Amino acid sequence: MPSRSPKPEPVRTPGNPRGLRDLPFAVPSVTPAQKARARKIASALAEHYPEAVCELDYTNAHELLIATILSAQATDVGVNKATPALFKAFPLPADYARSSPAEIEPFIRTIGLFRNKAKSVHSAMNDVVEKFDSQVPRTMDELLTLRGVARKTANVVLGNAFDINVGFVVDTHIDRLSKRLGLCAPEDSVQRVERTLCALFPRDQWCVLSHRLIWHGRRACSARQGACNDHPICASFGKTCELRDTAKGAVKKPM
Residues designated as active site: 152, 171
Element (H, E) at 120: helix 114-131
Q: Tell me phi and psi for residue 252, to 5 degrees.
A: -110, 140
**Other CB atoms within 10 Å distance of the CB of residue 234:** 22
* Cβ atoms of residues 131 and 2 within 8 Å: yes
Which residues, in sequence order, are CB contacts of 28 under 8 Å at separation 6+? Answer: 192, 195, 196, 199
> Mapped to the 3 state alphabet, what secondary structure does 195-222 carry?
HHHHHHCCHHHHHHHHHHHHHHHHHCCC
**Coil, strand or helix: which one is 43?**
helix
Q: How far apart (Å, rounded) are the C-alpha atoms in residues 10 and 235?
A: 42
For residues 216 and 233, give the distance between their C-alpha atoms in angstroms, rounded to a whole number.
Answer: 9
Give the count of beta carbons closer than 10 Å to the beta carbon of residue 1: 10
**Residue 62 CA, distance from chain mean position:** 16
Residues whose CB is less than 8 angstroms from the CB of residue 43 and which lie 6 or more positions away in sequence, other chains included: none
> Is residue 184 exposed (0-12), middle (13-18) or buried (19+ Cβ within 10 Å)?
buried
